[in-house]
Each structure stands twice: as C-alpha cells, then as structure tokens.
Amino acid sequence: MAEVHIIGEIKEAKAFSKQELFCKWYLHIGNNWRVIEGKREGDTQVASSPFIDTCHWSYPIDLHLATSGIQGWPKIYLEVYHLDWLGRAHLFGYGLVTIPTSPGRHTLDCYTWRPLGTLRDRIFQFFLGGGLQIKYPDLIFSPENRYRLSTEAMGVVTLELELILRNFNNYGVEY
Amino acid sequence: MSDGTFLLIISGQIEFLDVMAPANTSYHCKYEFYSGPDWKIIGGLENGLSQVANIINNNDKVVFNFPVEVQFKSTNPFGWPQLVLSVYKEMKLEGYGRVHLPTQPGCHKMEVNLSKPKSGYLLGQLWSFLGYQPELLEPTNLASTTGTNLIRMVSTGKAFMTFNIVTQGFLTLGYDSGPTHNRGE
C-alpha cells in the first residue's frame, strides 16, 4: 500500500472579528484510506494576541496514512470557535481544506464561513452571541446539499503542512 | 542503509527573538526535542539552555545565536521531531514556541510564534496582574497536544531560527519529501 505522511501545523487564524479563538479539526478520508498512526481529530488551545488580529496556535499535526486508492484524498475539516469571558464557546466558522497531492511544504489558507440567520437571529447573535450551527456537519463535505445554506464570510485559518509520500511510484501513480 | 532506518541530521541555530523587550532585562531560553516512539537521538543534545541575553536599549533584539546540533535515527517519519522552546524573562516565563523540524533537506529559515498561558478565570488574572505567571508543567505537551485544549494563551512575539537538514537513506526507503536541491541521482 502507498503511504502518506502529513506533518505540520495549524498555524494561525487571521481576520476574525474577535480574539480568543480555538479550532477543532477532524481528518476526513475516503473508504480506501486507513490511519496507521496519529490523531485524526483534536482541538487547539485558545489563542489571542494583544496587538494584531491574528491568533497563533502552532498546533501540531502528525498523521501516517495508508491507502489503496486515490479516491477520497484526505481533507481537513475545521471548526473555529470563540471562547468568551464566561467560558462559552460560540461558533465562528466552518472550513474544509484539501490536503495537496504533491509532496513538499505547503501553506494552505482555509477561508471559513458560518451560517447566516434571519435578521432576528442576527440581532440576538449580536447581543448574546451564539448563532446558527449545522446539525449534521456531513452536509459540509457533500457538494449536493450546500445549496440549502446561506452563509457569511469569517476569517482565514492558515495551515502549514509538509507531505511525504511513499511507494506511489510502485503503483504507477504520478503526482 | 539496508536495515530500514534513515538518519536526520540537524545543524542549526536559535538566532534571535523578536519580543517587546524593555531595557535592563535579561532573557534566556531552553529548547527540548519531542519525537515519536520510533525515533532515537544518536548524537547531540536533546535539550539545551542558552546564555543570558541582556537588553540594553528598549526593543533590542534578543540575540541568542545558540547552536542546535542533533542527529536522529528512525525507521518511520511518524513522530517527526519537534522543537519546543521555552523563553524566560529574568526567571519568569515569557513564551513557549513549538515547531516541527523541516522534512526537506536544505537550509530553512523559520519563524516560530511564541505564546504564554494565561489564567482562564478572573481571580487568576488578578494574580497575574500581581506578577504571577502560569507555566506548563511539561512544555512538550504542546508538541504531543495532550491536555492543551482550552488553555488560554497570549502571543508574545516570535523566535527566529535557522535549520540545516540533511537526511540519509530516506529516498532509498521509498519516501519522497518533495523537490530538493540534491537528490544524489
């Protein structure tokens, strides 16, 4: 089986409207893929910075995957939350980023979004926080059901990943 | 090497810190490596402690110019070594940094963000106002990500490092870490 190593970090979040952000991440892979070692989900610390609108997480990712097919190339699914001073977590963005298919160092920007409610929802959200969340996050992965959503733009999550591929050449796969 | 192992040789430096450094303070830092179960250090120091760098003028660079030279041996890229940096101002924590070593051979200039923990509740923030700074018992937990979720951390600056990476026997095991300068072909 061909192997893929994903080594890197969830680096930072930029351009979000608030600080004190944390990120939950999940690995999303197809049926041909198997996680041999490494955590396939996790959450970062709650980061803030005093002078700029960038939250630095430097959260490490280290995954060892094996595959018997190219379909379902791994994706990383992100949820960004804001933790307020009362310890409540508010959803601040969903994002999906595809792992590149070529080895080497990659800087990936994940542009995140969140569902947009009605005017009444937004007034409540402005004063109380919270807001709409997606009940079945599987919706995010499928291109079929996205048309039901109405969203607004949130910030950018930057990932820096290094990919190591192994034995793809033995199967005649060019990358 | 035919026994399924490869070598990773690192020679680098912790060059300097870019933090808000007031005059008449001093900084020092500690580095430690965290790597997976298949990794073994065959030479060099796993952790090190720098000199004390004194600040004469406000906002000077904190220059360490501190050499890091380690040789690793492994059979598996999983658990690729990470460097965890703890920076202290006088005897008080100023920030932690964490970075994966580059996987590609060559010379790499790295910028590592530093951040320090802060208390999650108001009484604790009052304590930190009075000079108490929370620290991690085990800074390598940042690299293993055990128990770091929901810790509040504040950015304090950046550390600049240079790493020269040489691998041996990596390509012959079938690994491809991307286009590099010299593949020895």
Mean pLDDT, residues B32-58:
95
B53: in domain: yes
> Among A75-89, A132-146, B24-38, B134-148, where is mean pLDDT lowest?
A132-146
- The Cα–Cα gap between A71 and A101 comes to 12
Q: Please report residues of A whose CB lies closer than 8 A to that of B77.
A: 5, 7, 64, 164
B129: in domain: no
Strands (E), B20-105: 25-34, 40-44, 47-49, 53-55, 62-74, 82-89, 92-100
Task: Quote the pLDDT of residue B149.
Answer: 87
B178: in domain: no
Dump pLDDT digits (tens) for A113-172: 999 989 999 999 889 888 889 988 888 888 888 888 899 999 999 999 999 999 999 999
Residue of A nearest to B104 (CA): A104
Reading the block at residue A129, the tokens are: 């926080």
Domain total in chain B: 1
CB contact B119 to A (< 8 Å): no
Task: Quote the pLDDT of residue B1.
Answer: 56
Residue B58 pLDDT > 70, yes or no? yes
Is the Cβ–Cβ distance between B112 and B161 less than 8 Å?
yes
- Are the beta carbons of B155 and A47 separated by less than 8 Å? yes
Mean pLDDT, residues A63-90:
93
Q: Is residue B171 classed as helix, strand or coil in its secondary structure?
A: helix
Mean pLDDT, residues A33-52:
94
Dump pLDDT digits (tens) for A45-67: 999 999 899 999 999 999 999 99
Residue B184 pLDDT > 70, yes or no? no
Residue A96: name the closest of A33, A160, A142 by CA: A142
Task: Quote the pLDDT of residue A174.
Answer: 87
- The Cα–Cα gap between A9 and A57 comes to 8
Dump pLDDT digits (tens) for B62-90: 999 999 999 999 999 999 999 999 999 99
- Are the beta carbons of A163 and B178 separated by less than 8 Å? yes
Pairing of strands A54-67, A2-14: antiparallel
Reading the block at residue A2, the tokens are: 């061909």
Q: What percent of chain B has pLDDT over 90?
A: 81
Q: Which of A7, A52, A65, A105 to mutate to test the interface with B (most CBs of B within 10 A)?
A: A7
Q: How many CB pairs under 8 A join A and B?
A: 124
Task: Quote the pLDDT of residue A34.
Answer: 96
CB contact B82 to A (< 8 Å): yes
Please report the residues numbered 164 through 183 in chain B whose beta carbons come closer than 8 angstroms to any beta carbon of chain A. Answer: 173-179
B185: in domain: no
Averaged pLDDT score across all residues of chain B: 92
Averaged pLDDT score across all residues of chain A: 93
Q: Looking at residue B108, which CATH number applies to its domain? A: 2.60.40.150
Task: Quote the pLDDT of residue A94.
Answer: 95
Of the candidates A46, A60, A168, the beta carbon closest to that of B100 is on A60
- The Cα–Cα gap between B170 and A81 comes to 39
- Are the beta carbons of A46 and B150 separated by less than 8 Å? yes
Task: Quote the pLDDT of residue B104.
Answer: 94
Per DSSP, the residues of A45-106 read -EEE-SSSSEEEEEEEEEEEEEES-STT--EEEEEEEEE-TTS-EEEEEEEEEEPPSSSEEE
- The Cα–Cα gap between A150 and B100 comes to 38
B85: in domain: yes
Task: Quote the pLDDT of residue B3.
Answer: 86
Which domain does B160 fall in, by range? 6-116+155-173
Mean pLDDT, residues B47-56:
95
Task: Quote the pLDDT of residue B118.
Answer: 92
- Are the beta carbons of A104 and B104 separated by less than 8 Å? yes
Q: Which of B19, B39, B100 to mutate to test the interface with A (most CBs of A within 10 A)?
A: B100
Question: What's the CATH class of domain A2-170?
Answer: mainly beta
Residues whose CB is less than 8 angstroms from the CB of residue B81 and which lie 6 or more positions away in sequence, other chains included:
B8, B10, B33, B34, B35, B39, B70, B72, B100, B101
Task: Domain ranges for chain A, please list them.
Answer: 2-170
Confidence of residue B185 (pLDDT cuts 50, 70, 90): very low
